[in-house]
A and B are shown apart, each in its own frame.
Chain A
Amino acid sequence: MEIPQALYSALLSADEEYLIALCNKGTVNRAKKDLSAAQPEITHIEGQTVTLTVGDTVCTITAPLGSSTCTCPSSSMCRHRMSAILWMKEQVAQESAPPGETAVPSGGEPPREVAEEVSALLSAYPTQVLTRQLGQRRVSALVQRERSGEGAAIREGSTVTVELPWISATVRFICPLEHSSCTCHSRNFCTHKAEALLIWKLRHGVVTVDSLLAALHNDNGSILDRREICAAVQTALTDWMRTGLTRLPSSSMETAERLAGLCHTSALPDLERAIRRLHGELQSYFARSAAFRAEGLLHRMSAVWRLASALRTASEPEALRLAGTFRDEYQPIGNLHLYLLGLQGVNLAGGYAGTVYYFWETQRHRYYAYRDLRPKFYEGGRQPGSTETILWELPGTLRQARNCRLDLTGARVSGEGNLSATTQCRGTLLQKSPPGLVLPPSAVEEDFSPLLPRSRPGLGELDRLAILRPHWGELQEYDRVEQRFTLRLLDGTGRDVWLTVRYREGKQTVMEALEQLAGQWEKAPDLRPVFFGVLYREGGRLCLYPIECFTNWEGTP
């Protein structure tokens, strides 16, 4: 059978280095071992492709060799394809050897034209694409490393191998460039490939450091199309799913960060948030955190995929809604008649801490909140929230207005119900009142059945706020393993809500107060305390995280 000319040339010019660049050294060695056990068999030749059977699989070998395919599940260059290529290469070498001489495997000096072709391809690759992909920070770091002489190691032959020791990655460029490989397993033009190519260009004088920095300074970038970004996000997820978590390179964190950055510049805040959460899960995985769960990562990936998919196919107005907003904008709402029902100190994982104040609006019959949160990362040793600002021209701090009525004129509220601290809003502090006289009886739940739909996981915090007046309470034994205080609250028909507080720094006083209350309640069953808190579900239980507890709801607070 006659092998097509293009494939013939490709096989002749491919040395071992080229074959390793197509996959990796391990696969090439494995293919050689497989060849000693079973020989491939050519089934047919059509156009520029040769079809062979290799064991149980069928391989289609074509030029360029990287475009060959196989029926095995692998989507990258597999051992079957490599066996077929090696075997065909052997046949071609025997055919091309002069009569009477045995074929010698190609080695030593690679054909000059192959090396020149790779160099020409690398030189022609647009520098601007590389600088945009890497971003200013990485390009500057690269230039710095090149200047200090701690740069990459480059080897050139039929392939151009660039070792990037600072990120433990090795990039092998071959002709055509799309078949080049990287130790991060990415089949796309990953950031390592971009970095390696830029280094090669600098070393070969294709670009100079000064021209590179000047171009970077003048390049204002281009905002990528929404569909392009969503496609890039989905391609990255497809790559990760193909590779699998066990072989996922740590550079996937960088990929996630880069994609989140792209979403930010292209005004896709919800997708950015979803990718940042995914990035957090990946960080947890690579840090070998005990809290990491593969189910959690799958859930984050699913959220990103579904949102990217919806954004990709959405019409412009729909895409605008799906994109979300960077910051919740405060809208004027007019006058509000508020009652400060409770407050709690919070210390968020996102790096913010402070106090959240919960208000009841006496006319709209709904909750509002004011969140006095400050970043912890700028404050050093200072306790966040230690200095409370006076809002809305009130005569004192909000903490002092606890259980007081206050009227706001010119108030501004976000979509979620958070109040703005705007100076355009004026507040009038009214008298202190017992909550039972301000809040209508309908706001207090004595029957727990309507609480279940209000505890759905997707709901916001203000939608899950509830005031409970249980019929009876049963103090549970303190969970020493989980360090958890639990009080079972029951309504008149036996429906239960579990009030739970986990021991944490700053929560000791809350737990002591609740223990004291449970003791009082046991002695005086007619006490009927009222609990204000946030509903949530845990296992098969409906739970309440307490914010305030009132033992004299209708009386003096």
Chain B
Amino acid sequence: MNHCLNAMEARLTDLLQTGLDTGGTDAGAAFARLAEECEACGLHTGSVLMNRLAGLLEARAHVLEKEDAPLLDALFTAEHYIALCRERWQELEILEGWQEQQMWTQDREEGDSL
């Protein structure tokens, strides 16, 4: 999951670096690939957001009058989603660490009693 979040964040940051006018078309295809990866990682909302971004970027390339507000809405929603996922991921990592530590302590205590 963390790998997927990193990939999404990196792609969004690339788009910020290059700009929609230059990097928009390439980013569309990359977001579509990321949508599949997200689905495989269990990030369903992430997949929906990536698909939405891919669709909007693809459509942007074929319109004469660029209306970017919905695209930016989707882009910043995706950024917010990544931040929330990271927060949750961090929490899970701490809990996982605590569980491992508890198991290790239990094993040691059992070993001592034997």
Contact = CB atoms under 8 A, between A and B. Distances in A.
B20 A241 contact: yes
A237 B68 CA distance: 10
Interface string B47-77: 0000000000000111111101100110111
A297 B72 contact: no
Closest 6 A/B residue pairs (Cβ): A244-B19, A540-B93, A69-B64, A494-B101, A302-B76, A494-B105
B95 A452 contact: yes
Contacts of A493: 102, 105
A460 interface: no
Contact of A70 (B64, B93, B98): B64
B40 interface: no
B21 A294 contact: no
A73 interface: yes
A60 B104 CA distance: 70
A63 B96 CA distance: 65
B98 A295 contact: no
A456 interface: yes
Interface string A270-296: 000000000000000000000000110
B79 A302 contact: yes
Given A234-B72, A295-B13, A452-B94, A69 B65 contact: yes
A348 interface: no
Contact of A242 (B21, B77, B105): B21
B25 A295 contact: no
What band does the interface of chain A fall in when counting residues whose beta carbon is under 8 Å from B?
Answer: 35 or more
20 contacts: A69-B64, A72-B61, A73-B20, A73-B22, A73-B61, A238-B68, A238-B72, A241-B68, A246-B17, A294-B17, A295-B9, A298-B13, A301-B76, A302-B79, A306-B77, A448-B98, A496-B101, A537-B90, A539-B93, A540-B97
Given A452-B95, A540-B97, A246 B21 contact: no
A247 interface: yes
Interface in A228-247: 234, 237-238, 241-247
A60 B64 contact: yes
Given A73-B60, A301-B76, 7 more contacts: A70-B64, A234-B72, A243-B19, A243-B21, A244-B18, A490-B101, A541-B97
A347 interface: no
A209 to B, nearest CB: 40
A71 B61 contact: yes
A234 B94 contact: no
What band does the interface of chain B fall in when counting residues whose beta carbon is under 8 Å from A?
Answer: 35 or more
Given A247-B19, A493-B102, A496-B98, A237 B72 contact: yes
B80 interface: yes
Given A306-B76, A306-B80, A71 B64 contact: yes
B101 A495 contact: yes
Contacts of A74: 21
B18 A246 contact: yes
Contacts, number: 116
Given A298-B13, A494-B105, A457 B87 contact: yes
Contacts of A72: 61
B65 to A, nearest CB: 7
B23 interface: yes
Interface string B15-38: 111111111110000000000000
B1 interface: no
Interface in A29-69: 60, 69
A542 interface: yes
Contacts of A159: none
Contacts of A452: 91, 94-95
Interface string B88-114: 001101111110011011000000000
A71 B62 contact: yes
A457 B75 CA distance: 22
A431 to B, nearest CB: 40
B78 to A, nearest CB: 9
Interface of B is mostly: helix
Contacts of A306: 76-77, 80
Contact of A540 (B23, B65, B66, B90): B90
B107 to A, nearest CB: 11
A52 to B, nearest CB: 13
Given A73-B60, A495-B101, A537-B90, A244 B22 contact: yes
Contacts of B69: 234, 238
Contacts of A294: 13, 16-17
A173 interface: no
A298 B79 contact: yes
Given A244-B16, A298-B12, A298-B13, A541 B76 contact: no
A241 B63 CA distance: 18
Given A245-B16, A294-B13, A495 B102 contact: yes
Contacts of A237: 72
Contacts of A297: 16
A241 B57 CA distance: 13
A494 B104 contact: yes
A531 to B, nearest CB: 18
B20 to A, nearest CB: 5
A494 B98 contact: yes
B66 A75 contact: yes
A306 B84 CA distance: 14
Nearest to B71: A241
A54 to B, nearest CB: 14
B23 A244 contact: yes
A542 B75 CA distance: 30
Contacts of B9: 295
Nearest to A234: B69
Q: Which of A60, A74, A244, A306 gathers most chain B CB within 10 Å?
A: A244
A241 B74 CA distance: 13
